[in-house]
Amino acid sequence: MEAVSDNGRSGLGGMGTGRSAVTATVAFDGFRFLAGGATVLIEGTRIVDVLPAAAGSPDGWEVLSAAAILPGLIDTHVHLVGSGEPDALRVDIDRTAEQRAEVIERSLAQQLAAGVTTVRDLGDTDWAVGERGARPGEPTVLSSGPPITIPGGHCAAMGGTAAGTDQLRAAVAERAERGADIVKIMVSGGAMTAGSNLLALQYSEDDVRLVVDEAHRRGLAVTAHAHSLESVRLCLRAGVDAIEHCSCLTETGVVDPPDLGGALARSEVLVTPTFGRLPELAPSPQAEALSRATGFSLADRFTQVGGFHRAGVRLSAGSDAGIHPAKPHGVLPLSVLELVGCGLPVADALATATGAAAEGIGLAGHGVLRRGARADLLLLDGDPATDPAALLRPDTIILAGTPITAPVSGGSPTPS
Ligand SMILES: [Zn+2]
Return per-residue pLDDT of the chain as tens, 416 residues.
333 333 333 345 444 468 999 999 999 999 999 999 999 999 999 999 999 999 888 998 999 999 999 999 999 999 999 999 998 999 999 999 999 999 999 999 999 999 999 999 999 999 999 889 888 899 999 999 999 999 999 999 999 999 999 999 999 999 999 999 999 999 998 877 777 788 889 999 999 999 999 999 999 999 999 999 999 999 999 999 999 999 999 988 898 899 999 999 999 999 999 999 998 887 778 778 888 888 888 999 999 999 999 999 999 999 999 999 999 999 999 999 999 999 999 999 999 999 999 999 999 999 999 999 999 999 999 999 999 999 999 999 999 999 987 554 444 444 43
Between the CA of 386 and the centroid of ligand 1 the distance, in Å, is: 31
Cβ atoms of 154 and 190 within 8 Å: the answer is yes
Between the CA of 227 and the centroid of ligand 1 the distance, in Å, is: 11
In order of 74, 124, 271, 357, the CA distances from 70 in angstroms are 12, 29, 23, 14
| Count of CA atoms in the C-beta half-sphere (13 A) of 319 | 33
Between the CA of 233 and the centroid of ligand 1 the distance, in Å, is: 20
SS3 95: coil
Same fold, 19-70+364-415 and 73-360: no
CATH class of 73-360: alpha beta
Between the CA of 186 and the centroid of ligand 1 the distance, in Å, is: 10
Between the CA of 48 and the centroid of ligand 1 the distance, in Å, is: 35
Between the CA of 198 and the centroid of ligand 1 the distance, in Å, is: 13
Between the CA of 320 and the centroid of ligand 1 the distance, in Å, is: 5
Between the CA of 348 and the centroid of ligand 1 the distance, in Å, is: 23
Between the CA of 78 and the centroid of ligand 1 the distance, in Å, is: 6
Based on its alpha-carbon atoms, the radius of gyration of the chain, rounded to whole angstroms, reads 21
Label the pairing between strands 402-405 and 394-399. Answer: antiparallel
Between the CA of 148 and the centroid of ligand 1 the distance, in Å, is: 12
Between the CA of 79 and the centroid of ligand 1 the distance, in Å, is: 6
Residues with CB under 5 Å of ion ligand 1 are 320
pLDDT at residue 228 in the model: 94
pLDDT at residue 195 in the model: 74
From the options 3.40.50.2300, 2.30.40.10, 2.60.120.260, 3.40.50.300, give the CATH code of 19-70+364-415. Answer: 2.30.40.10
β-pair partners for 250: 253
Domain ranges for the chain, please list them. 19-70+364-415, 73-360
Between the CA of 29 and the centroid of ligand 1 the distance, in Å, is: 28
Between the CA of 334 and the centroid of ligand 1 the distance, in Å, is: 17
Burial tier of 177 (Cβ tally within 10 Å: 0-12, 13-18, 19+): exposed
Is the whole-model pTM more than 0.85?
A: yes
Interhelix angle 332-341/298-311, nearest 10 degrees: 80
pLDDT at residue 127 in the model: 96
Between the CA of 195 and the centroid of ligand 1 the distance, in Å, is: 17
Between the CA of 117 and the centroid of ligand 1 the distance, in Å, is: 19
